[in-house]
Structure formats: structure tokens, C-alpha cells
Chains A and B, each alone.
Chain A
Amino acid sequence: GQQLNQSPQSMFIQEGEDVSMNCTSSSIFNTWLWYKQDPGEGPVLLIALYKAGELTSNGRLTAQFGITRKDSFLNISASIPSDVGIYFCAGQGGSEKLVFGKGTKLTVNP
């Protein structure tokens, strides 16, 4: 089945730093999604991408749909303590089932 490789697995950064994470796949996806999970809660959608090359922002978050349709990137600028959580990428291709990456756990030190 389709699989996503999400990296890095974890990040420890200082408040104010920028963050980058990415997902890659051997399969082509039609949709890329980025979710954030706060501790003890379910994931919440941050950004949805539907077109190769698309660059979309949501506040300090920016995500891109890779040109090859096999990857996506999420950047967080000027991190703050409430950015702490697990970030998941998710992709959807021909199988029509949403496939999730294994997550990037972000820790922000004040």
C-alpha cells in the first residue's frame, strides 16, 4: 500500500526559531494535508493542498505541494511555545484512503 516517510521524527528548538519538516512518498498523491495534534487531543487540520507546486500559508505556517506530487513540506516561522505538538502529514492518491505519516514531534523551549 501507499506509505509516507515523514521527517524528522522529533525536533527540539528554541522559541523564535523556524521549523521545517517534510513528507515523501514513492507514490503520487492528489492531495496533501497537514494536521497538528496537541497533547491529549485529536489531530486538527492545518493546511490542505490540492495542486502540484501549490504554496499555501496559514498564519506562521506555510506548506507546499511538491512538483513531483510525491512530497510536501511544512514550515513554521518564529516558533512559539504553543506550537508544541505532533505534526502529521497525510496524502491521498488513487486508493482514496487517506494515508498518514508517522508524525514529527515538536518541542519548543522558551
Chain B
Amino acid sequence: NAGVTQTPKFQVLKTGQSMTLQCAQDMNHEYMSWYRQDPGMGLRLIHYSVGAGITDQGEVPNGYNVSRSTTEDFPLRLLSAAPSQTSVYFCASSLSWTGDKKGEKLFFGSGTQLSVL
């Protein structure tokens, strides 16, 4: 199994450009999410989805859009990139997000390093 696959690994954008970060999982996971990691800030939740057709905002959603048309894919869109969005982005998925053991099986991708100039 490939697990959680993120593309691209690295990306440089100019301010105002748009792009989509791709995330795909082949584990039939219901729950998918996007985090950003900044120095000294830890992991902050951007958006998440508990199933196809369902998305919701996390802690830092502004400037990002998501959609979940299939169980496998959860792309993150930057409509107009800003320097403040320079960060490392992680996609994570889990079989489900119900019950007591929600965080036990959260699988992370290897990340996308984004620089906005």
C-alpha cells in the first residue's frame, strides 16, 4: 500500500498565484485532513473531511479551499497565494473519526514544502 501520497514535494509560487496541493490515500479512509507546520507553531489544522462530500474548517482555514468528491482524494487549493502561506503542508487520513480512539490511526503523508515569494 502507498498509504497517504502528497504531491508535489516542493513548490515555489509568486504572490497571487493559485495552485492545488494533491493528497490521495489508498486505505479506504473516511477521514482526511490538512495541516500546516510552521517553526515553533506545531501542526495546525486547516480543513478536514469526515467522508466524501463533507468538509469542514479547522483552526486556520482562511485562504484555503477544499473539496472531497471521492473517498480517495482531498485536494487543498490556494486561490491567491500569500507569503504568509509559506509553510510545510501535511495531509493525514484515518479510517474513521468516531468513537474513543480517534487519533490512534492518523496516517500522515510526507509533506509539501511551499514557498510563496
Contact = CB atoms under 8 A, between A and B. Distances in A.
Interface of A: 1, 6, 9, 30-31, 33, 40-45, 48, 50, 88, 90, 92, 96-98, 100-103
B104 A45 contact: yes
Given A41-B111, A42-B110, A43-B108, A96 B102 contact: yes
B103 A48 contact: yes
12 contacts: A6-B42, A30-B100, A40-B110, A41-B111, A42-B108, A43-B90, A43-B108, A45-B104, A97-B59, A98-B103, A100-B35, A100-B44
A71 to B, nearest CB: 17
B40 A50 contact: no
A45 B110 contact: no
Number of chain B interface residues as a range: 20 to 34
A33 B108 CA distance: 14
Contacts of A42: 4, 90, 92, 108-111
Interface in B91-112: 92, 97, 100-106, 108-111
B58 interface: yes
Contact of A101 (B42, B102, B111): B42
A71 B111 CA distance: 29
Contacts of A40: 110-111
Contact of A103 (B4, B42, B97): B42
Contacts of A43: 43, 90, 108
